[in-house]
Amino acid sequence: MYIGIPKESRPFEYRAGLSPAGVEILTNFGHQVFVEHEAGLGAGFSDQEYEKVGARIAFSAQEVFGRADFLLKISRPLKQELEWLKSGSIIGGFLHLASSSQDQIDLLLEKKITALAYEQITDSSGGLAVLRPFSLICGSMVAQIAARLLQTNRGGKGILLNGVPGVPPAEVVILGGGAVGTSAARAMVGAGAHVTVLDKSMAALERVAELLPGVVTLMATKRNIERATAFADVLIGAVLVSGQRAPILVTREMVRAMKPRSVIIDASIDQGGCVETSRPTMHDNPTFVEENAVHYCVPNIPSVVARTASHVFVNSAIPYIADIANHGIDVMIERDPSIEAAINTHQGNLVNLVRLSG
């Protein structure tokens, strides 16, 4: 199979579609891998490292997209890139198609592209096998992001996460007790903050309480969300509904009722966001102020630790990628429920995807 790894085109996406270690696994199976010139540069991988493990270097994105039977990306491709894909090919990536534009969906269907959404690959226990390691990275980074944004010179209210003797720590409220939420809670507890986690699942709250004694847990009812956001110094949105747009749990009125210069980190923004006032930002200008709250809404938080993220990706995703390359997508859809659950478009049909307005 011809496998393509283009250079990521979206701003501030430094991760590589596959590291040299992953490429070596595929070339050892006899596949031909085309890597765009400097595709790994942001993660610290040189063209020479890719060539050493059997890849061929291509000098245009169009060549990589056009040659590939199976294209490996990180972020969702641009419309121009989708036009370069050959009909009937496969594209893998963190596609988040539930929040994409309709013209991109239409093009995938028209060209009968098989879209494999890494964020929906589901293991035998129901866990999101490839997304989870990135969620753990994202959650771990939230504490350091929040600590900076609470500083007066960053627009925050000028408080420490952990407080000092005689002054209480910051109140951190986390919506969602999944991988991002639990990782964020662990990092915030480690930083000394007072943490409250809300989730609609009692099982999730029980896991959080068992892992992190001392963390307050609440059911994510509208009333509890209103109460918690009102006392939060930091609000973290960590809501995920696989294959769907994130639901709006925090309304504009709730944001308006928050303490002045509180910090909102909407880690659900890649799926549309769970806070009504959120809108996507980028790493070069990551915040904005709305309703007197500082919002941080960067969709690709793990991108700035690109080397770690790229290694983590190989560990979690290469078994699925190799199986598809070795056996073909139709066989693997039939054989492996983990892969079947992650298919969003196939043979001109929309599957495993719910698109909501807003």
Residue type, 184: A
Q: Residue 188: which of 210, 160, 227, 156 has the closest Cα?
A: 160
- Which residues are bridge partners to 285 per DSSP? 282
Please tell me which residue in 96, 194, 295, 346 is annotated as part of the active site: 96
Question: Known catalytic residue: 270?
Answer: yes
| CA 271 – CA 353 distance, rounded (Å) | 12
| CA 145 – CA 134 distance, rounded (Å) | 16
- Collapsed DSSP state (helix, strand, coil) of residue 90: strand
| CA 271 – CA 261 distance, rounded (Å) | 25
Q: Residue 313: which of 28, 73, 61, 13 has the closest Cα?
A: 73
Please tell me which residue in 69, 233, 266, 270 is annotated as part of the active site: 270
- Collapsed DSSP state (helix, strand, coil) of residue 179: helix
Question: Known catalytic residue: 233?
Answer: no
H helix runs in the chain, sequence order: 20-28, 47-52, 61-67, 79-84, 102-110, 131-149, 179-191, 202-211, 222-231, 252-256, 306-327, 329-335, 337-340
CB atoms within 10 A of CB 290: 17
Pairing verdict, β 343-346 and 114-117: antiparallel
Residue type, 300: N
List C-alpha distances in Å: 107 to 80, 97, 155: 10, 12, 42
Residue type, 97: L
| CA 229 – CA 186 distance, rounded (Å) | 20
* Residues with a known catalytic role: 96, 270
